[in-house]
Amino acid sequence: MNVKKMIFEGEGVTLDFKKTITSCEKIARTMVSFANNKGGRLLIGVDDDGTIRGVKSEDEERYMITKAAHFFARPALEPVFEEVYIDDKVVLVVNTEESPVKPHYSLAEDGKWWVYVRVKDKSILASKVVVDVLKRSSDNQGVLIEYSAKEKTLLQHLENTGRITVKECCDLLKISRKRAQRLLVDLVLSGIIRIHTTDKEEFYTAA
């Protein structure tokens, strides 16, 4: 494992740097977002700018991460640890695999459980549509799409404009938010449309 190369490439969808672990809630959120996506690695003992500080106590960091994975993530996660020595400093590498039982929830400071997904280098709160996609993509059930006038109208809109949001879908098809979300989930799971999540908005395009 070339940790220096990983640090040089910077934080991203599958990589996050932490100088030290100060909060079980925050670290659980990151691990949950990895598990709900394609998996990822935490490098403990590395600043956000890539400076290698090293960890002061591997045991303490392992304890905090294991506690976060077992008690602040639901279903619980099983991180894999590896110690890497760089310039006489220890970097603790924490690997979280992509989960076969999505979605995973993270316990927040408000005592509620929330689903997070990884977008670029951030762990973002998942929308209702994303949560439903994660749930249904894990249960291996097929999606039967019936092409009604609503599906045709939506796909024609995407062909003309290139994108749509949940609210725009409600307005276009004159349906409730719940029905619009269910329709979008079906189309995402069937591979007909693609979901795009940022920290500012969520929208859909033709696949």
Question: At 147, which CATH number?
Answer: 1.10.10.10
pLDDT of residue 156: 94
Give the Cα separation of 110 and 125 in Å (integer). Answer: 14
Same-domain pairing of 33 and 54: yes
Contacts 24+ apart (CB under 8 A), 140-145: 143/186, 143/189, 143/190, 145/186, 145/187, 145/190, 145/192
In a domain, 38, yes or no: yes
64 found inside a domain: yes
Place of tokens 């939506």: 154
* Beta strand 122-125 pairing with 202-206: unpaired
Inside any domain, residue 130? no
Indicate if 73 and 108 belong to the same structural domain: yes
Cα-based distances in Å from 67 to 104, 115, 166: 15, 18, 37
Q: What angle do CA 101, 199, 138 make, to 5 degrees?
A: 15
Number of domains comprising the chain: 2
Same domain flag for 19 and 97? yes
Is the same domain home to 188 and 147?
yes
Give the residue ranges of the chain where pLDDT is below 70. Answer: 140-146
Whether residue 110 is found in the same domain as residue 148: no
113 backbone dihedrals φ, ψ, rounded to 5°: -100, 130
* Full residue range of the structural domain in which residue 160 is found: 135-206
pLDDT at 190: 85
Degrees to nearest 5, angle at CA 88 with 43 and 92: 20
Tokens read off for 144: 């039967």
pLDDT given for residue 139 in this prediction: 72
Query: Do residues 7 and 109 both lie within one domain?
Result: yes
Task: From 99, 125, 151, give the residue that closes a domain.
Answer: 125
How confident is the model over 150-164, as pLDDT tens digits? 999 999 999 999 999
Which residues on adjacent β-strands are paired with residue 116? 125
Q: Are residues 170 and 193 in the same domain?
A: yes
Report the alpha-carbon distance of residue 174 to residue 90 in Å, rounded.
58
SS3 at position 198: coil
Task: Say if CB 198 and CB 121 are below 8 A apart.
Answer: no
Rounded distance, CA 70 to CA 107, Å? 11
Confirm if 118 and 34 have CB atoms less than 8 A apart.
yes
DSSP β-bridge partners for residue 15: 12, 41
Instruction: Indicate if 140 and 183 belong to the same structural domain.
Output: yes
Residues 26 and 121 in one domain: yes
Same domain, 23 and 71: yes
Cα atoms found within 13 Å of the Cα of residue 101, Cβ hemisphere only: 8
DSSP 8-state symbol, 46: B
